[in-house]
Amino acid sequence: MARVTAKRTERRRAAVSARERIAESAYRPGEEPVIRTRGLTKRYGTVIAVDRLDLEIYEGEIYGLLGPNGAGKTTTVLMLLGLSEPTAGAATVLGLDPTRNALEVKRRVGYLPDSVGFYDDMTGRQNLRYTAYLNGMTRAEADARIADLLEQVRLTDVADRNAGTYSRGMLQRLGIADALVKSPSVLILDEPTISIDPIGVAELLDLIRTLVKERGLTVLLSSHLLEQVQHICDRVGIFCAGRLMASGTVVELLGASASGLVTLEVGVGGDVTSATDAVRGVDGVTDVEPDGEQPGVLVVTGQRDLRNEVVTELARRGLPITHLLLRRAGLEEVYRRSIQECQDRLAQASARPNAPRERAA
C-alpha cells in the first residue's frame, strides 16, 4: 500500500491539470491536436451516419460530444479507433491514421464502450489481469499496475469478487480501469454514465476529472446527457445527424445562439420608437423587437456583441438607457436550438427528390 501511495503522490506532483494544459498549449495556434478529423464521412448505402466532420481535440482536455441517441457519436468513435473505415475524409489520433495503423491506435487509446462486458465468473482483478496479458505485460508488471488502478477506481475491497456480482456503476469503474491497464494517452468513453444512479454518476465524473489531472489524459466523452457534459467537459461539440452543429467552451456556447447571433436586452428611458430606430441603424444589428414582458425594453439581435456600439448610438441621439444586458442562453437552450436547426435541415433535405437520408447511428 505504501508503494502504491508513493506512486500516486509522485504522479500528482508531475501532473498538470486539464485546464492548465489547455491554457498553456491546447489553444495556442499551430499546436497539433491529439485527435483531428477533416471531412470525416461514413455512409451506409443511402444513409449518412457521419457527415463531413471537422473536429480537433487537444492534449489534456475533456471534450464532450453531445447529441441525441442516433446522432452518429458511436460511429465517429468507431472510426477513430479503426474499428470502422470512413467512406470519405480522414482522421488522425496521436498522429496516426486509424485506418492504416489500427493496432497502434488501439495500443495507445483506452476505450470504454457504452455496454461494457466482463467475464462474470472471473473476479475484477482477474478480468484486468487478462487484459494486461493481452497487452503483453508480465505478471509482476500487471499485478503492480492493477493494484494501483483498483485503488484509483475505488474497487480494491471488491477486487476479488466475481464481476457478475458488480453493480452497473462498479462495472463502469472496472471498465475505466480496464481501459487504463495499457497506460493510454487518450481515453474514449462512449455514454459512460448510462443506467447509473445519480450518486454513481457523480463518483464516475469525479474519477474522470481526477484521471485527467493525475495522468495528463486526453478524454473524448460521448453522451446525450447535457447536464453531465456541461459539468465535466472543457469543450463541447453539439452533434446531430452526423454533423457538428456547434463547438466551443461552455462559456463560448452560452455567449451566442446556435446561429452565431448574440442577443442584448436594452432598457430605454425615453421614446421607445426613437430608440428602436436608432438601434436598428447600428452596423451588425439584425433585429430589434420590444420585449413582450418588460415595457421599455428592447431585445436586440446582432452578429456579435454590440453593447458598446448600441450605447454609443443611443448616447449620440440623447436617448437615455436604464440598463443593458448580454442575454446568455442556458446550454439547454443552445442545444435545443442546434437540434432544431438540424431537424429543419433534415426536413428540407427529405423534401428534395432523390436526396440521401441523413440519419446517424
Question: What is residue 325's predicted lDDT score, i.e. its pLDDT?
Answer: 86
Weakly modelled stretches of the chain, pLDDT under 50: 1-2, 4-30, 258, 359-361
What is the rounded CA–CA span in Å between residue 149 and residue 132?
Answer: 12
pLDDT of residue 42: 97
How far is 206 from 62, CA to CA, in rounded Å? 12
E strand spans, 27-177: 35-44, 47-57, 62-66, 88-93, 109-112
Q: What distance in Å separates the CA atoms of residue 52 and residue 38, rounded to the nearest whole number?
A: 7
- Residue 237: its pLDDT value, please? 94
Tell me the pLDDT tens digit for each residue of 187-226. 999 998 887 888 888 888 888 888 888 888 999 999 988 8
Cβ atoms of residues 118 and 163 within 8 Å: yes
> Cβ–Cβ contacts within 10 Å for residue 213, how many?
19
Residue 13: the pLDDT is: 41
Helix (H, G, I), strand (E, B) or coil at 309: helix
The CA distance from 52 to 34, in Å, is 19
pLDDT of residue 337: 80
**What pLDDT score does 335 carry?**
84
Separation of alpha carbons 240 and 233, rounded Å: 18
Contact 177, 153 (CB under 8 A): yes
Contacts of 112 (CB under 8 A, 6+ apart): 172, 175, 176, 178, 179, 187, 188, 189, 190, 192
pLDDT of residue 358: 52
How far from chain centre, in Å, is Cα 69? Answer: 15
| Strand intervals (E) in 105-168 | 109-112
**Domains, the chain:** 2-254 (3.40.50.300), 262-327 (3.30.70.100)
Looking at residue 87, its pLDDT comes to 97
Alpha-carbon distance of 89 to 72, in angstroms, equals 16
